[in-house]
Structures are given as C-alpha cells and as structure tokens.
Structure 1
C-alpha cells in the first residue's frame, strides 16, 4: 500500500522564486530515492507564493527515510521552511 503526502506551502511573493528553485532541486533528489513513487510540485494558480506538493512513497518508512535524507535537511529544512508563511500537510494511504 502506498503512502501519500499532500503539502500546501505559502511564502511571501518576494520569496517565491527562491522557494520555487529549492522545490525543483528537492524534486530531483527525491525522485531518485528508492521508496519514492511520485513527487510533483505545482505553483498554485492565482496565488502568488502558493505551492502544492503531491508525494507518493512505497510506505510510511519510505517517507520517513525521505525526511531523514541530506537533501531534505539542506533544501527543505534549510531553505524552504524558514521562508514559509503557511504550511499544511495531509497524510494518507492509497486505497
């Protein structure tokens, strides 16, 4: 059973380019993870600084390994999270 993560991120419009570039970098590294099945980054239409991430892993352990990766620490924790003004995450299992 696959494990899914849907994240909504929002940053100030002046930080949008930095967050976008960091998310693209994270996407490329995450897609190379053994447990990753999908990692999509979307700019939210009509919402400057808004992003939607759709992630799918083989299981929860795969997602936990993703969060423990060096690229997650460097890019998401180090660059993206400090620039966010809002963040919501929904977790689920594919049925």
Structure 2
C-alpha cells in the first residue's frame, strides 16, 4: 500500500513567487527519489497564497527516507519564514489502498 501526505500552507502575499520557485526545485528533487510516486503542488487560482501539497510514496519507510534527504532539510530551513499559517488540521498521513501510478 502507498503512503500519502496532504499538507496545506498559507503564504505571505509577498512570499508567493519565492515559495513557488523553491518548491518547484524541491519537487524536482523529490521526484528523483525511488519511493516518491507523486509530488503535486497546487495553488488556489483565486488565492495564490493558499497552497496544498499532495505527495505519495511507495510506503511509510519511503516517506521517512524522503525526510532524511538534504533537499528536505533545505525545505525545512527555507519554508517556515515564508509560511504565515500551516494547516496542521489537514496535514494528513494516510495509507492509500488502491493507488495507481
């Protein structure tokens, strides 16, 4: 079974372009990981400060491997100053029963 992450962020209005450019690089690195199946960055068309990430990994250990990468460590350093609010209430870790790649 696959392992999925859904994370919601609200960005500072002056940080949107910087966040999205950096997230594009982070996404590209993440997709090279053998266990990363999907890494989608979505942005609300009506409110560009509202960003949701959807990530899917082969299993929970693959996600743990992702969190141990240098690019994830960089993300943990650059992202917090750009985030006004993190939607922890929807930061979900779920097993995907019937994932298709």
Q: Would you identify which runs of 4 or more consecutive aligned residues in structure 1 move more than 6 Å?
A: none
Name the counterpart of 1:53. Answer: 53
Name the counterpart of 1:82. Answer: 81
- Structure 2 stretches of 5 or more lacking a match? none
The structure with the largest alpha-carbon Rg is: 2
Q: CA deviation at 1:49?
A: 1.3
Q: Is the partner of 1:56 in helix, strand or coil? A: strand
Superposition RMSD on alpha carbons, in Å? 1.0
The 1-side partners of 2:44 and 2:61 are apart by 29
Q: TM-score normalised to the size of structure 1? A: 0.93
- Which digits, 9 at most, give the CA deviation of each residue in 1:15-50, with x for residues without a partner? 001110111011000000010000011111212311
Q: TM-score normalised to the size of structure 2? A: 0.88
Name the counterpart of 2:96. Answer: 94
How many correspondences in the alignment? 94
